[in-house]
A and B are shown apart, each in its own frame.
Chain A
Amino acid sequence: MAGDEALSRADASARSARKALARGDRPSARRAAFLALKSDPTCELAWLVLAALADPPARRNYLEHILAINSNRETAIKARKVETGERRMLDRAYSVSRRKRWPDDVSAIEDTKPHKTERIPASIRPEGTRKDAESAAAPSTTSFVRAKQNMVQNLRVVATACEMALKHAATDSFIIFAVFVQPLIIALLGLYMLRERGGDYAIFVVVGSGLTGLWSSLLFVSGGALNQERWSGTLESLVGMPTSLEVVVFGKNLAYVTQSLGSMVLAYALASLLFGTPLRVAQPLLFLASIVLTTISFVCLGLLLAPMFVANPDIRNFVNALEYPMYILAGFLFPIALLPGWTTPLSYVLAPYWAAEALHAASTGTASLNNIALDWGMLLVLGAAYVLIGRWLFRVFLRKARQDATLDFF
C-alpha cells in the first residue's frame, strides 16, 4: 500500500510539474519533478519534464535515463520529440506573451510539428540554448537566423549601453563640466579671438575645435570608462557575460561621442549668440551627412583604444600623449599641407583627417560631390577596418588580461 501511495504521490507531483511547465513556471516545474522522482525514481513523466527543462548536453543524459527505464517505442518517440522539437514549445511556453501554451499532456508533443521558419520568441534562456534548439529544428536556416539574432541582440546591447552611459554621465559632475562647461569656455575664447576675421574663418575654427573636443572626449572619457569599470568591479562582470565586450564599448563610445557633439553644437550656438557672429554652414545637408559618418568613424576608432585599457590600466599615461598629435595629423585646426611630406600617409589612415576634410569643406562651402564622396568612403572603409582590428585587439588583450589576472587589478 505504501508503495501505491508513493506512486500516486509521484504521479500527482509529475502532473503538477507538467502543469507548471505549461504556464512557464520553470522553478516550480523543476521542484515538482524532483518531488515526483523522490517518491518514484522511475516516473517517466517527471524525467521528461526535467529533460524538457534542461539544456543540451544535460537533456541527452535525462533522455538516455528515460530510455533506460522504459525503452518501448512510445517512450522513445516522446524522448526523441523532446530532444529535437520541443524547445520551441518550451520557449513559447516560457515567453511572456504565451501565445501558445504547453500542451496539457506531454505526449501531445508528438502531434506538434515545429515551425521551421517561425522566429522563436525570445525567452530568458541563454542564447546558446536557443541556438541548439534551432539548429536541431531547422538546420538550413541556422546561420541566417543566428546572424539575425546576434545582430538584434547586439543592437539592443548598444542601445542599452548607450542609454546607461548617458544616464551615468548625467550624474557625474566631472563629465558634466567636461561636456557642457569646457566647450562653452573654448567656444567663447575662440570666437572672441577671431571676431575680427569674419564668418567663414570662424566656422572653420569652430568645426576644427569641435573635432578636437570630440577626439579628447573619445580619448579620455571612453578609455577612462573602462578603467572606471575596473575600479567599480564591473569589468569582470562584463567580460564574464555572453555579450562581446567590444559591443558594450561601442554603445558607450556612441553615448560619449554624440553627447560631446551635441554639447559642442550647443556651446557654439550660445557663443555665437553672445558675440552676434552668425555661424552659417554653407552646405547643410552634406555637413549633416558628414557629421553622422564622423560620429560612426570616431566610435569605431574608440574600439582601437579600449582594448589597451582592458589589458593595462596604466596605459592612460601613454594615451595622454596621443591627444595633440591627432590635432595636428588630422588637420583639425590647420591644413596638413603645412606638415612635412612624410606625415601625409599617417594622416590618410586616420578617420578624423577625412572627417575634418569633409566637415571643413561642407561648412565653408568648398565641397564638391566627388571630393566629399571620397571623404565619406574613406570614413566608412577606415571605420570598418577599425572595427575589424579592434575586434582582434579585444580578443588578444582580453586573453592577456585573463592570463595576467588584470581584470580586477586596480
Chain B
Amino acid sequence: MNAIEVEGLRRIYKATIGVIRRKVKEVEAVDDISFSVVGGELFGLLGPNGAGKTTMVKMLTTLLLPTAGTARVLGYDVVETPGPVRSRIGFIFGGERGLYWRLSGNDNLRYFASLYHVDPDVAHQRIPYLLDMVGLQARGNEKVEGYSRGMKQRLHIARTLLHDPEVLFLDEPTIGLDPVGARELRQVVRNLQSESKTILLTTHYMFEADSLCDRIAVINHGRLVAMDTPSGLKKNVSDLSVIEIEVFGIPDEVVESLRQSPAVHSVSVENRDQRQALLVHSPLGSEAVPDLLASLDGTRVGKVTVREPTLEDAYVRLVAETG
C-alpha cells in the first residue's frame, strides 16, 4: 500500500517584472515529478537550494496547489479532498517559525490539539507525554520565546504528533541545530520510524539522509534526477575514489585545467574558512595523486586524503551532471 503517490506533478510560480511595462516570468519549481512512498517507509528528498523540495512538500501537505499532475496521500487526492489528508498528516517546516512565541509550550500544544480535534481529555494526557518525549517537560510552562532553536524544533515535533498522524512531512527539521540538538532530533525521527510512520524527509545533510532514509529521491531544478536506496545511489560512484586535497587560494584556471585531465571525472571546490577543499573524483584512486599534485604546482597544498565515495559524493555528482 502506497502512503504517498505522486504522478506528473508540476508547479509553476509566476512573478511580475517591471513597473510600467509589466512582464510575467514563469519559474518551474517542480517539473513533472512522479514517485511513490510505501506505508512505513522513510523517504528522503534531497536537492540543492531552490530545487523544489519545499514546494513538493507544500503541495503534498495541501498548502499549495499544483499546476498539473496528481498527488494522493493515503489514497486521498491533495487537491480534491484536502480535509481527510489534513486529518491524517503532520508536517513541520524547518526553522523557528510556526509557533506562538508569547504562549507557553504547553499552551501551544493545547491550542494545536484543539485545532486537530483531539479530545481535551486525550490531549490532557498526551501533551505531557509528548513534551517528555521531546525532552521539554520541565520547560513546558515557559513561554516559547525563551526557548533555544533546538527546543523550538523539538516542540514542532511534539506539535505534529498530537493527533497521531500516519504520514509525516519533515522539511529540513534539523536545519540550524547544533550537533547535539540535531542528533537528538534524528533519534526522535528514528523512534517515529520504528512506530511504522510513513515519513517524507527533506534535508541538506547527506549523512542524515544516509543514516535515516530507506530510499532517497534527488531533485534538481525541479526535476527528479535519481531515486534509489542510499547504497544504490552510492553505487553510482563506486567506480570512483574521492581525493580530497586541502589547498590555500586555488586559481579558477587551475581547477579548470584539472577538469580537462583524463584521470579526473569531476572536480569541485568547497570553501572552508581560509582554505579550500578540492574534491576530485577519479577512477585511479591514490595512483592519481602524484599527477594531481604536479598539476597544482605553485599552489599551497595541505593535507591529502583518498577515501571511498559517500552519499554526498553521489549527490554532488548527480547534481553536477544535471546542473
Residue in B63, B64, B111, B165 whose beta carbon sits within 8 Å of that of A160 in the complex: B111
Q: How far is the CB of A95 from chain B (nearest CB, A)?
A: 7
- Asked if B39 and A58 sit within 8 Å, CB to CB, the answer is yes
Which A63-110 residues have a C-beta within 8 angstroms of B? Answer: 95-97
Neighbour of B122 across the interface among A122, A233, A237, CB < 8 A? A122
Known interface pairs A233-B95, A240-B61; A122-B121 also in contact (CB < 8 Å): yes
In contact, B63 and A402 (Cβ under 8 angstroms): yes
8 nearest A-B pairs in the assembled complex, by CB-CB distance: A233-B97, A122-B119, A126-B87, A160-B114, A233-B98, A27-B195, A61-B1, A128-B84
Contact A234 B99 (CB under 8 A): yes
Min CB distance B190 to A, Å, is 12
Interface flag for B147 (CB, 8 Å) = no
In the bound complex, do residue B103 and residue A168 qualify as a contact, i.e. CB atoms below 8 Å apart? yes
Q: Could you show 21 A-B contacts with beta carbons less than 8 Å apart?
A: A95-B121, A96-B119, A96-B121, A122-B121, A125-B164, A126-B87, A126-B116, A126-B117, A126-B164, A157-B117, A160-B111, A161-B111, A164-B103, A233-B95, A236-B63, A236-B98, A237-B112, A242-B116, A243-B117, A402-B65, A407-B63
List, in ascending order, chain A residues with CB within 8 A of B95's CB.
Answer: 233
- Chain B residue numbers with a CB within 8 Å of A323 are none
A65: nearest chain-B partner, CB-CB: B1
For A96, give its contact among B1, B86, B125 (CB under 8 Å). Answer: B125
| Nearest B residue (CB) for A236 | B63
With both beta carbons as reference points, the residue of chain A lying nearest to B143 in the complex is identified as A171
Q: How far is the CB of A251 from chain B (nearest CB, A)?
A: 9
Measured CA separation A174–B62 after assembly (Å): 34
| Consensus secondary structure, chain A interface | helix
**Contact yes or no, A160 B110, CB < 8 A:** yes
Complex contacts, A239 vs chain B, CB 8 Å: 62-63
Q: Is A127 on the interface with B (CB-CB < 8 A)?
A: yes
Q: Do the beta carbons of B65 and A399 come within 8 Å of each other? A: yes
- What are the interface flags for B50-92 relative to A under an 8 Å C-beta threshold, 1 for contact and 0 otherwise? 0000000010011111000000001100000001101111010
A225-240: which residues lie under 8 A (CB-CB) from chain B? 232-234, 236-240
Interface centre among B62, B125, B195 (most CB of A within 10 A): B195
B281: A residues at CB distance < 8 A: none
Q: How far is A121 from B120 in the complex, measured between Cα atoms in Å?
A: 11
A403 close to chain B: CB less than 8 A? yes
Q: Tell me which of A62, A97, A234, A241 contacts B100 (CB under 8 A).
A: A234
Most buried by A among B102, B110, B116, B119: B119
Residues of A within 8 A of B99 (CB): 232-234
Given A123-B122, A124-B118, A124-B163, A242 and B63 contact (CB-CB distance below 8 Å): no
Q: Bound complex: CA of A61 vs CA of B126, how far in Å?
A: 29
Q: Does A200 lie at the interface of the complex (its beta carbon under 8 Å from any beta carbon of B)?
A: no
Shortest distance between the CB of A104 and any CB in chain B (Å): 23
A62 to B100 alpha-carbon distance, docked (Å): 40
- Asked if A141 is at the interface of the complex by the 8 Å CB criterion, the answer is no
- The CA of A123 and the CA of B164, in the complex, are separated in Å by 10
Which residues of A are found within 8 Å of B65, using beta-carbon distances? 399, 402-403
Contacting pair B91 A240 (CB below 8 A): yes
Q: Which residue of B lies closest to A407 (CB)?
A: B63
Say which size band chain A's interface belongs to. 35 or more
Contact with B along A134-149 (1 / 0, CB 8 A): 0000000000000000
The answer to whether A156 and B86 have CB atoms under 8 Å apart is no
Besides A126-B87, A164-B111, 17 other A-B contacts (C-beta < 8 A):
A30-B196, A31-B196, A34-B40, A124-B118, A124-B162, A125-B163, A125-B164, A126-B88, A128-B87, A157-B117, A167-B107, A237-B98, A239-B62, A241-B116, A243-B115, A243-B116, A402-B63
Question: Is A126 in contact with B122, judged by CB distance below 8 angstroms?
Answer: no
Distance in angstroms between the alpha carbons of A161 and B97 in the assembled complex = 19
* Alpha-carbon distance A292/B100, docked complex (angstroms): 30
Q: Which residues of chain B are within 8 angstroms of A243 by Cβ–Cβ distance?
A: 114-117
Asked if B13 is an interface residue, CB under 8 A from chain A, the answer is yes
Q: Report B-chain residues with C-beta under 8 Å of the C-beta of A236.
A: 58, 63, 93, 98
CA distance A80 to B89 in the complex (A): 27
Q: In the complex, A233 Cα to B95 Cα: how many Å?
A: 10
Contact B163 A126 (CB under 8 A): yes
In the complex, A167 Cα to B121 Cα: how many Å? Answer: 21
Chain B neighbourhood of A96, CB < 8 A: 119, 121-122, 124-125
B119:A123 contact, CB within 8 angstroms: yes
Q: Are A232 and B117 in contact (CB under 8 A)?
A: no
A40 at interface (Cβ–Cβ under 8 A)? Answer: no
Query: Bound complex: CA of A410 vs CA of B248, how far in Å?
Result: 41
- Our pick among A122, A160, A168, A241 for the contact of B86 (Cβ within 8 Å) is A241
* Least Cβ–Cβ distance between A235 and chain B, in angstroms: 9
| Per-residue contact bits, chain B 249-277, to A (CB 8 Å; 1 contact, 0 not) | 00000000000000000000000000000
Q: Is B194 an interface residue (CB 8 A)?
A: yes
Residues of chain B within 8 A (CB-CB) of A57 are 1, 74-75
Cβ–Cβ < 8 Å partners of A160 in chain B:
110-111, 114-115
